[in-house]
Amino acid sequence: MIIGFIGFGNVSQNLVKLINSKDISFITSFDERSSKTVENIKNSNIEVLDTFKDVALKSDILISANSPKSALNIAQKYGGFVDGIYLDLNNISPDTTLEINKHVKSLVDGAIIGKIDSVNPILYISGEKANELLFLNEFIETHKISDDVGDVAILKLLRSSYTKTLSALLIESTQIAEKYNLEDEFFDILSLTEGENFREKSISRINNTLNSSKRKAEELEEIINYFEDNDLTMIIAALKKLSQ
């Protein structure tokens, strides 16, 4: 079986590490990619084809893991060349997922919950062909939600709005605590109710958010567009914070 990638950042690199089987090989392309991505691909030691069209044509499963902004464009460009399953792992809105479905023969809507490089990331999938990906459970805990493309996208948005808004609040509170020279004490008293490793988890969450604030802000914009009929006061404030 051949698994192809469009996008070779954190998600794809870690999937290659996790899906460790002599029966599965991986392909991608350097086509117009940054030096960082080229380096990631070289380090993963996987096969490199000339173009992403070649990758799409040759893949039994094509994984799209690039960015929320490029996901639809990539599906429009390459989705039609995939005979097997097109697994979209981007944090996109359910509307975008349904739009992608128009350009792809067999779409499975996917979400990695928890950081991909955490000890136990979990993959949630939905779509009529999702059953065909349950073999991945051997390598990464995998759950099928339903036959409906879009269900995982809704769950993903809800989770994402919660965690990113919380991260923005954490960044703000920590900055204030630092200003008063009370950072250690701030984490100490929060750990009393939030759990022992709260400080470590928070610092990791803050760094992660600050290191990819542009992508996280894009994701919040998608959430705001999709849930626009709801009260989004907190999420809009988080977007403002992450855009600063």
Ligand X SMILES: NC(=O)c1ccc[n+]([C@@H]2O[C@H](COP(=O)([O-])OP(=O)(O)OC[C@H]3O[C@@H](n4cnc5c(N)ncnc54)[C@H](OP(=O)(O)O)[C@@H]3O)[C@@H](O)[C@H]2O)c1
Footprint of ligand X on this chain (CB under 6 A)? 6-12, 33-34, 36-37, 65-68, 70, 74, 89-91, 112, 115-116, 215, 219
Q: In the complex with ligand X, which residue's Cβ is closer, 35 or 181?
A: 35
Shortest CB 178 distance to ligand X, Å: 27
Residue 27: strand, helix, or coil: strand
Measured from the CB atom, the residue of 49 and 89 that comes closer to ligand X is 89
Task: Please say which residue, 33 or 187, places its beta carbon nearer to ligand X.
Answer: 33
**Which residues partner with 111 through β-bridges?**
124
Q: Reduced to 3 states, what is the DSSP secondary structure of residue 147?
A: coil
Query: Measured from the CB of residue 222, what is the shortest distance to ligand X in angstroms?
Result: 9
If the CB atoms of residues 64 and 106 are measured against ligand X, the closer one turns out to be: 64
Q: How far is the CB of 89 from ligand X (least distance, A)?
A: 5
Give min distance, CB of 99 to ligand X, in A. 15
Q: What angle do CA 184, 189, 193 make, to 5 degrees?
A: 135
Beta strands across the sheet bearing 122-126: 47-49, 25-29, 2-6, 61-64, 85-88, 107-113, 122-126, 141-146
Cβ-based neighbours of 204, under 8 Å, separated by 6 or more: none
Among candidate residues 42, 104, 44, 115, the one with its CA nearest the CA of residue 71: 104
| Position of minimal CB gap to ligand X | 9
